[in-house]
């Protein structure tokens, strides 16, 4: 199913299940929806799950402009397309930040915000050095190949996919790196090509945002917010502390044994934390 944004860009969308509406925002920027497992988990627990590929990404039309405001507008277009007055909004990684920006822009349209594996409202410089070190440590013997691919000025599509699979494998917890590669391969199948222009433009914009202004704006939100972390995420979780402190109606769930994609490694606990009508205490 597709829809056209107000400027004519075609966006891919999908719906799974029936029940309380949950609208998902995938990570990136520049990636695509890999929420098949999340959609099944939530649909099995009485949710209607709505998904989309952000503009320029995956199955959506590969055309900009790329910005936070444009992404917020596209997300609202998806909501309107499905006739949803109010939704639970679940965002993962960059998508968590997008979901937060949408909630700040349209608080009357969000019943609950689920903020999964985000990186907070502070500058990237506060968390990225630790993340980069942990990434290299997690790659282990695969680090030289990842660095070689990353250093190339030009990569074939197969090389681009290989580099991403190696990097994404570090996002899974546990000592079994072959299992981590298997999970990363699932994320990369089908391979829908990273949009590096989208990634660069949105990341450049978010780096200039004021933590002080975001902190103040978050203080005005009244809907419940659930922050979900994987305890083994290589992105330092204390980067999210200032966001948690800014929100007046927040709970936080940390899933032991999970990395950046907690639903892949702790599916039952993740579903208990985020499913509509389920108290987050069930996943503690």
Which of 78, 270, 263 is CA-nearest to residue 187? 263
Prior bond to 29 cis, omega within 30? Answer: yes
Query: What stretches in the chain show pLDDT beneath 50?
Result: 279-284
Pseudo-torsion of CA 247, 250, 256, 261, nearest 10°? -70
> Are the C-beta atoms of residues 84 and 21 closer than 8 Å to each other?
yes
Distance CA 278, CA 142 (A): 40
Query: Which residues have a Cβ under 8 Å from the Cβ of 254 and sit 6 or more positions away?
Result: 228, 229, 230, 231, 237, 284
Extents of the domains making up the chain: 2-127+194-283, 129-187
* pLDDT at site 278: 53
* pLDDT at site 283: 35
- The superfamily (CATH) of domain 2-127+194-283 is Alpha/Beta hydrolase fold, catalytic domain (3.40.50.1820)
Strand ranges of the sheet holding 47-52, from the earlier edge strand across to the other edge: 2-4, 10-16, 47-52, 20-25, 87-92, 110-116, 225-230, 250-255
| Averaged pLDDT score across all residues of the chain | 95
Task: List Cα–Cα distances, 73 to 99, 203, 261, in angstroms.
Answer: 11, 17, 26
Query: Which residues have a Cβ under 8 Å from the Cβ of 243 and sit 6 or more positions away?
Result: 100, 115, 118, 120, 121, 215, 218, 227
Q: Give the global pTM.
A: 0.95
> Are the C-beta atoms of residues 224 and 280 closer than 8 Å to each other?
no
* pLDDT at site 24: 98
Distance CA 81, CA 97 (A): 22
> Are the C-beta atoms of residues 257 and 174 closer than 8 Å to each other?
yes
Distance CA 97, CA 117 (A): 10
Beta bridge partners of 115: 91, 227
Prior bond to 175 cis, omega within 30? Answer: no
Query: Which residues have a Cβ under 8 Å from the Cβ of 94 and sit 6 or more positions away?
Result: 27, 28, 29, 202
Which of 25, 27, 28 is CA-nearest to residue 39? 25
């Amino acid at each position: 199913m597709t829809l056209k944004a107000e400027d004519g860009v075609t966006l891919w969308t999908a719906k799974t299940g029936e029940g309380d509406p949950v609208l998902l925002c995938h990570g990136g920027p520049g990636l695509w929806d890999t929420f098949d497992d999340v959609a099944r988990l939530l649909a099995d627990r009485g949710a209607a799950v709505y998904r989309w590929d952000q503009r320029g990404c995956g199955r959506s039309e590969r055309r900009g402009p790329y910005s936070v405001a444009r992404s917020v507008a596209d997300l609202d277009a998806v909501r309107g397309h499905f006739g949803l007055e109010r939704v639970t909004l679940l965002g993962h990684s960059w998508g968590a930040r997008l979901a937060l920006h949408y909630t700040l822009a349209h608080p009357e349209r969000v019943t609950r915000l689920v903020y999964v594996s985000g990186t907070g409202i502070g500058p990237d410089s506060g968390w990225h050095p630790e993340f980069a070190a942990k990434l290299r440590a997690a790659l282990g013997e695969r680090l030289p190949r990842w660095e070689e691919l990353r250093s190339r000025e030009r990569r074939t599509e197969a090389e681009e996919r290989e580099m991403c699979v190696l990097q994404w494998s570090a996002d899974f917890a546990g000592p079994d790196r072959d299992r981590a590669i298997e999970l990363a391969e699932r994320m990369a199948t089908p391979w829908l090509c990273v949009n590096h222009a989208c990634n660069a433009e949105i990341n450049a914009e978010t780096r200039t945002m004021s933590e002080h202004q975001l902190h103040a704006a978050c203080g005005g939100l009244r809907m419940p917010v659930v922050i979900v972390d994987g305890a083994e995420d290589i992105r330092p979780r204390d980067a999210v502390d200032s966001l948690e402190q800014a929100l007046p109606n927040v709970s936080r769930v940390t899933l032991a044994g999970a990395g950046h994609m907690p639903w892949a490694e702790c599916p039952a606990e993740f579903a208990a934390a985020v499913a509509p009508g389920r108290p987050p205490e069930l996943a503690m």
